[in-house]
Amino acid sequence: MSTSSKTIGWGFLFLLVIFIVLIFISINSSKSCQEPLTYRLGKIDERFNLSREEFNTAVKMAAAMWEKPFHRDFFREDADGEIEVNIIYDYRQEATDRLKNLHYKIDRSKNSYEELKSRLESLKAEYEPKKVGLDNDINDYNTKTNALNNEIESWNRRGGAPQSTYVRLMKEKDELAALRENLKARQEEIKTLLETINSLVVVINEIASNNNLDLLDQQNIGSTLGREFFEGFYEYKNGQRSITIYQYNNEYRLVRVLAHEFGHALGLSHSKNKESIMYPIIQSDSLELSEDDVAALKEHCKSH
Ligand SMILES: [Zn+2]
């Protein structure tokens, strides 16, 4: 055997390895373009008030957004489908819902960020004196209640109070009961105010993290502050694929966020074009892909 034929042998082996690796890569990543990806519905959090059928319809509409311009199926529902599609309610949806119930207009723009921030400032300005006033009045109430109870006890030890004293004590007792009701109502009001403030902080930070604006100070928010806000998430972990939706503002946005995550499942990354479904922030209610998205998927499928 000459040295050159040995070299050819190694070279051949090397090419064979490359070939096998390429086949392996193409088997693993070709699926989305060659045959439909299968999906199944997973967890549907009942707090969204969304039936399984309604969620399924939204998922189908999201798949159709990709399929329509290509006239072919990219996704197929299957009981054993590969991608689990979930919708999970968390503090983000709760914050959005709470503000919506108060008729706050929320969009994801910089204007909305500034407006919500000034509302937050005025609510905080309202909250602080109310809270101080309430705390003082609660202290007052406790002091008066203790004094009254001590007086009643001491009269009881002496075998009862004279009529006029008794009338005064009962009158004081009634006044304190009314004060107690008033304090309870104010406590509820302040609790609601605080919840609104916390919801504002969550939503403001959501908009901030989506627009590269300043997040609010940590101390304003407590545990939820500083967490990044995502409406949805596509994950490929330990061989398992999943899409999880956390939050949406209306049915169109739900379909759009699902379509965005489906785009990731197809192998697409983010686009810099604001019209694109693959833009990281959902900014429109349109249920059509942009030309950008169509071009990106065409390009992706050329090589997959
Ligand atoms: Zn994304």
Examine the domain organization and report whether 111 and 197 are in the same domain: yes
CA of 89 to the centre of ligand 1 (A): 19
CB neighbour list of residue 284: distance below 8 Å, 6 or more residues apart: 256, 275
CA of 112 to the centre of ligand 1 (A): 22
Is residue 109 a part of any domain in this protein? yes
CA of 96 to the centre of ligand 1 (A): 20
C-alpha dist (Å) from residue 132 to 85, 121, 139, 220: 47, 17, 11, 17
Examine the domain organization and report whether 75 and 41 are in the same domain: yes
Q: Given this model, what pLDDT does residue 300 score? A: 94
Q: Which domain holds residue 116?
A: 104-211
- Each residue's pLDDT tens digit, 83-96: 999 998 877 778 88
Which tokens hold the place of 286?
């349109």
Give the domain-ending residue among 157, 176, 211. 211
Is residue 220 a part of any domain in this protein? no
CA of 129 to the centre of ligand 1 (A): 43
Q: Phi and psi for 244 in degrees, rounded to 5?
A: -125, 130
Helix, strand, or coil here: 44? strand
Which tokens hold the place of 213?
């604006």
Give the domain-ending residue among 167, 183, 211. 211
Helix, strand, or coil here: 217? coil
Examine the domain organization and report whether 128 and 171 are in the same domain: yes
Average pLDDT score, the chain:
84
CA of 235 to the centre of ligand 1 (A): 10
CA of 264 to the centre of ligand 1 (A): 7
- Each residue's pLDDT tens digit, 256-282: 999 999 999 999 988 888 889 988 767
Q: Measure the CA–CA gap between 107 and 301, rounded to whole angstroms.
A: 34
- Where would I find the H helices in the chain? 3-34, 52-67, 91-101, 110-157, 163-211, 218-221, 251-266, 291-302
Is residue 161 a part of any domain in this protein? yes
What DSSP character marks residue 69?
G
Is residue 43 a part of any domain in this protein? yes
Which CATH number fits the domain that encloses residue 236? 3.40.390.10
Strands 232-237 and 240-245: what pairing?
antiparallel
Examine the domain organization and report whether 109 and 164 are in the same domain: yes
- Each residue's pLDDT tens digit, 27-73: 444 467 889 999 999 999 988 899 999 999 999 999 999 999 999 99
Is residue 99 a part of any domain in this protein? no
C-alpha dist (Å) from residue 50 to 87, 130, 232: 10, 38, 16
> Do 213 and 70 meet the contact criterion of CB atoms below 8 Å apart?
no
Helix, strand, or coil here: 246? coil
CA of 277 to the centre of ligand 1 (A): 9
